Structure 1
Amino acid sequence: MNELTLPIVKKHLNSVQAKYLKQEHVDTLNKIAKDPEYGEEFVHIYIENMEAISSSSRFKQEHYINAVKFYTLLESGYNLTQSYMKVFPDRAERRREVNPETYEVVIRNEASRYNTSAIVNKIREFSSQPVKLLFRHVLLEAIETQAKLMRNSKSDHVRQKASEVLIRELKPDETKLEIGFDEETTSVIDDLRKAAEKLAISEMNSVKAGIPLNDISESIIIDVTPEEADE
Structure 2
Amino acid sequence: MSSLFDEDDAPASNNNQTQTAPTVVAQVDPSVLLDYSTFQSCLPEKMRKSINQELVDRVNATLSNPEEFEQYRNNLISYTSVMQDGKFKIEQYLDAVQYVSHKLRGATNIEAYMKTFPDKYKQFVLAGVAAKDIASYVTAYNKGKLVNLIMEQTLVPVHVLNMDMYQKALNAQFELGMSAQSEKVRSDALNSVLQQLRPPEVKKAELAITVKESDAIKSLKELTLGLAEQQRQAIASGLTTAKETAHQKLITESEEVQYIEVGK
Equivalent in 135, 138, 152 of residue 125 of structure 1? 152
C-alpha offsets along residues 100-119 of structure 1, whole Å, 9 cap, x if unaligned?
5x1x1122111111111011
Query: Is 26-35 or 112-121 further displaced after alignment?
Result: 26-35
Matches within 5 A, 1:178-189: none
Give the match for residue 46 of structure 1.
76
Identity %: 27
Unaligned runs of 5+ in 1: 131-171, 178-231
Q: Name the aligned partner's letter for residue 107 of structure 1.
A: I
Q: Could you tell me which residue of structure 2 aligns to residue 70 of structure 1?
A: 99
CA 77–30 in structure 1, closer or farther in 2 if over 3 Å, else same = same
SS of the residue 2:150 aligns to: helix
Q: In the superposition, relative to structure 1, how do residues 8 and 95 fare at CA in structure 2: closer, same or farther (>3 Å)?
A: same
Which of 105, 113, 117 aligns to 2:140? It is 113
1:84 is matched with 113
What amino acid sits opposite 1:76 in the alignment?
R
Separation in 2, partners of 1:6, 1:17 = 13
- Note the alpha carbon deviations across 1:128-163, whole angstroms, 9 max, x for none: 256xxxxxxxxxxxxxxxxxxxxxxxxxxxxxxxxx
Deviation of the 1:36 alpha carbon: 4.4
C-alpha contact 1:25 1:61 (8 A) present in aligned 2: no
1:90-101 pair list within 5 angstroms: 90-100=119-129
Alignment partner of 1:174 is 2:201: yes
What is the Cα deviation at residue 32 of structure 1? 2.9
Counterpart Cα distance in 1 of 2:34 and 2:50: 17
In 2: Cα distance, 1:16 partner to 1:129 partner: 29
Based on CA coordinates, which of the two structures has the bigger radius of gyration?
2
Tell me how far apart the structure 1 counterparts of residues 63 and 78 of structure 2 sit (CA, whole Å): 15
Separation in structure 2 between the aligned mates of residue 71 and residue 58 of structure 1, nearest angstrom: 19
TM-superposed deviation, 1:6: 1.4
- CA distance in structure 2 between the partners assigned to 1:77 and 1:47 by the alignment: 21
Structure 1 residues 129 and 17: alpha-carbon distance in aligned structure 2, compared to 1, 3 A threshold: farther
Q: CA deviation at 1:16?
A: 2.5
Which runs of at least 4 in structure 1 moved beyond 4 Å after TM superposition?
none
> Residues 133-172 of structure 1 correspond to what in structure 2 (within 5 A)?
none
Residue 48 of structure 2 is aligned to residue 18 of structure 1: yes
Taking the aligned partners of 2:57 and 2:89, their CA distance within structure 1 comes to 16
- Mapped partners of 1:10, 1:86: distance in 2: 25
Evaluate the alpha carbon distance shift between residue 2 and residue 38 of structure 1 in structure 2; reply closer, same or farther with a 3 A threshold.
closer
- Counterpart in the other structure of 2:5: none
Residue 81 of structure 1 deviates from its aligned partner by: 0.7
Q: How many residues align?
A: 133
Maintained 8 Å contact 2:44/2:80: no
Match for 1:75: what amino acid? Answer: L
Quote how far apart the aligned CAs of 1:175 are.
5.2
Change (3 A) 1:33 1:175: farther
TM-fit CA distance, 1:37: 6.9
Structure 2's unaligned 5+ residue stretches are 1-30, 158-198, 205-264
Q: SS at 1:78's partner residue?
A: coil
Q: Is the 8 A contact 2:40 2:51 kept in 1?
A: yes
Distance of aligned partners of 1:28 and 1:87 in 2 relative to their CA distance in 1, 3 Å threshold = same
Q: Secondary structure of the residue that 1:85 maps to in structure 2?
A: helix
